[in-house]
């Protein structure tokens, strides 16, 4: 989120210029303390006019999901230019999607092992809480919408994703057309969606400025009803995520480097700088200059990395995928008092892998996508429900989780890039070849 230069004076300006993630953290702490005090005083529910500030936040989040998916997925898919796709592109996209899918699986595994949840009073007892019977074939064919408009209106996330991907890919072909007319109208259309995405990012930026207030109220309600014991649950979420990140580095990246016969030591020595930069900036896009440099130092041909790294910063989100797995588990366990069914887990793998394509490489984007994944499995972040409170808890610690997941996202881009370059004989540096 672009921060403008601070100008003198004004509480509002000072507020706007203060780092948003710290503000959310402060909102979490203030809300938690207020909630604990209220719990001690025996006050379980906030007055409706205060509670409203939490509801406004969840409604704003829901409002943004569909336009955000449409804009970012169309732009993401249309950015894969068919000219470059050739030998490099298809391989890169496949390896990116496979590693992201592994990420979600590791995240879900961590969820199953750690069973992260908070014991919240007054569970939202709605239909979504019941383990649903999943007919696998139905899940597959229902990805295809019979009406795009109905899919949009009913917010059927997977169907919207499916259509947007096809739309974006066709757009990329038209953009590369030799027919001047087609090329021109495709570029105009692309610019419209690009602009839509930018507008959505601005709106998300605005919602995030409001988030500290929404989070404070939602967390306050959670603590007032449940007391201080819920804080420990968040620690489990952090541990589960970071352990998942570490396992992914060792198993998936270590495994890939081994398979492609690239020396692990020298690779990670070079990967250190982008890793740390990503950890600090929480932005894959912002880290691109250092990732480029690392790829160059590793001897990757520019033809490969100039294409695969920016693409990776947009569509390859392994850390985000792990985070989705752990947090989805946390939300379901917390709100419905049960784990995930196999059907739901399969759905989350599919959704989170596809969602990673639409997750912008900017701070906090994954948290918005988490709301989308939850909507996709039929458990939307509803206003005035336990799930909104649990989601606010996650949002409160998002800065920390985002640091780890972004560092992993970037390391994943670099790993896959080196592997593909090696496969194509476009990795020059002898020192990292076995």
Radius of gyration of the chain (CA): 22
Shortest approach of ligand ASP to residue 361 CB, angstroms?
4
Among 156, 159, 283, 291, contact with ligand ASP (rule: CB under 6 A): 283
Please, which residue, 233 or 356, has the CB nearer to ligand ASP?
Answer: 356
Among 204-212, 220-228, 339-347, 355-363, which window interacts with ligand ASP (CB under 6 A)?
355-363
Residue 114: both structure tokens together = 């750690």
Residue 302 near residue 342, CB atoms below 8 Å = no
Please, which residue, 291 or 409, has the CB nearer to ligand ASP?
Answer: 409
405 near ligand ASP, judged by CB under 6 A? yes
359 near ligand ASP, judged by CB under 6 A? yes
Among 116-124, 193-201, 327-335, 405-413, which window interacts with ligand ASP (CB under 6 A)?
405-413
Q: Which helix (H) or strand (E) holds 208?
A: helix 180-226
Residue 223: both structure tokens together = 């603590």
Question: Rounded to the nearest 5°, which phi and psi values hold at 338?
Answer: -150, 165
Please, which residue, 124 or 348, has the CB nearer to ligand ASP?
Answer: 348
Question: DSSP of 146-184, one letter per residue?
Answer: S-HHHHHHTT-HHHHHHHHHHHHHHHHHHHT-SSHHHHH
371 three-class SS: helix
Please, which residue, 152 or 367, has the CB nearer to ligand ASP?
Answer: 367
406 near ligand ASP, judged by CB under 6 A? yes
Shortest approach of ligand ASP to residue 175 CB, angstroms?
25
Closest CA to 214 of 73, 391, 355, 81: 391
Shortest approach of ligand ASP to residue 300 CB, angstroms?
20
294 class by beta-carbon count within 10 Å (0-12 exposed, 13-18 middle, 19+ buried): buried
d(C-alpha 356, C-alpha 313), whole Å: 10
Residue 53: both structure tokens together = 């500030």
320 near ligand ASP, judged by CB under 6 A? yes
Among 142-150, 292-300, 343-351, 400-408, which window interacts with ligand ASP (CB under 6 A)?
400-408
Question: DSSP of 240-299, one letter per residue?
Answer: HHHHHHHHIIIIIIHHHHHHTTB-HHHHHHHHHHHHHHHHHH--HHHHHHHHHHHHHHTT
d(C-alpha 277, C-alpha 297), whole Å: 16
366 near ligand ASP, judged by CB under 6 A? yes
Among 282, 300, 344, 353, contact with ligand ASP (rule: CB under 6 A): 282
Please, which residue, 35 or 404, has the CB nearer to ligand ASP?
Answer: 404
365 near ligand ASP, judged by CB under 6 A? yes
Shortest approach of ligand ASP to residue 358 CB, angstroms?
11
Residue 406 near residue 273, CB atoms below 8 Å = no
411 near ligand ASP, judged by CB under 6 A? no
Among 362, 377, 390, 394, contact with ligand ASP (rule: CB under 6 A): 362
Question: What is the CB neighbour count within 10 angstroms for residue 183?
Answer: 14
Please, which residue, 58 or 287, has the CB nearer to ligand ASP?
Answer: 287
Among 25-33, 180-188, 268-276, 359-367, which window interacts with ligand ASP (CB under 6 A)?
359-367
Residue 432 near residue 262, CB atoms below 8 Å = yes
100 near ligand ASP, judged by CB under 6 A? no
Among 244, 310, 363, 412, contact with ligand ASP (rule: CB under 6 A): 363
Among 244, 364, 389, 404, contact with ligand ASP (rule: CB under 6 A): 364
Q: Which residues bind ligand ASP (CB under 6 A)?
A: 282-284, 317, 320, 359, 361-366, 402, 405-406, 409
């Amino acid at each position: 989120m672009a921060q403008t230069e601070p100008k003198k004076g004004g509480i509002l300006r000072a507020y706007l210029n203060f780092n948003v993630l710290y503000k959310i953290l402060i909102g979490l702490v203030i809300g938690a303390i207020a909630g604990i005090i209220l719990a001690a005083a025996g006050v379980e529910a906030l007055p409706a006019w205060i509670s409203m500030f939490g509801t406004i936040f969840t409604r704003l989040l829901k409002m943004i999901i569909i336009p955000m998916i449409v804009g970012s997925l169309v732009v993401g898919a249309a950015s894969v230019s068919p000219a470059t796709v050739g030998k490099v592109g298809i391989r890169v996209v496949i390896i990116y999607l496979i590693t992201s899918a592994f990420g979600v699986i590791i995240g879900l595994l961590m969820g199953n092992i750690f069973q992260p949840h908070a014991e919240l009073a007054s569970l939202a007892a709605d239909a979504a809480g019941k383990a649903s019977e999943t007919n696998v074939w139905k899940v597959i064919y229902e990805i295809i919408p019979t009406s795009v408009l109905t899919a949009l209106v009913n917010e059927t996330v997977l169907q919207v994703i499916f259509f947007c991907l096809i739309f974006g890919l066709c757009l990329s072909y038209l953009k590369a057309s030799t027919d001047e007319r087609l090329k021109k109208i495709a570029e105009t259309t692309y610019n419209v969606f690009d602009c839509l995405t930018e507008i959505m990012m601005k709106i998300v930026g605005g919602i995030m400025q409001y988030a500290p207030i929404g989070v404070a109220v939602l967390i306050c309600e959670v603590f007032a009803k449940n007391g201080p014991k819920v804080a420990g649950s968040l620690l489990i979420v952090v541990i589960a995520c970071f352990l998942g990140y570490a396992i992914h580095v060792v198993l998936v990246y270590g495994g890939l480097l081994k398979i492609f016969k690239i020396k692990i030591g020298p690779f990670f020595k070079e990967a250190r700088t982008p890793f740390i930069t990503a950890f600090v900036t929480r932005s894959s896009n912002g880290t691109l200059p250092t990732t480029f440099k690392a790829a160059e130092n590793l001897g990757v041909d520019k033809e490969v990395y100039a294409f695969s790294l920016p693409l990776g910063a947009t569509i390859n989100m392994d850390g985000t995928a792990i985070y989705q797995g752990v947090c989805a588990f946390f939300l379901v366990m917390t709100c419905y008092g049960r784990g995930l069914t196999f059907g739901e887990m399969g759905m989350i793998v599919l959704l989170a892998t596809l969602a990673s394509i639409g997750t912008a490489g900017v701070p906090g984007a994954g948290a918005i996508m988490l709301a989308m994944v939850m909507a996709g499995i039929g458990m939307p972040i509803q206003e005035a429900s336990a799930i909104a409170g649990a989601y606010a808890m996650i949002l409160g610690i998002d800065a920390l989780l985002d640091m780890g997941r972004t560092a992993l996202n970037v390391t994943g881009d670099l790993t896959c890039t080196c592997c593909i370059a090696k496969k194509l004989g476009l990795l020059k540096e002898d020192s990292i070849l076995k």
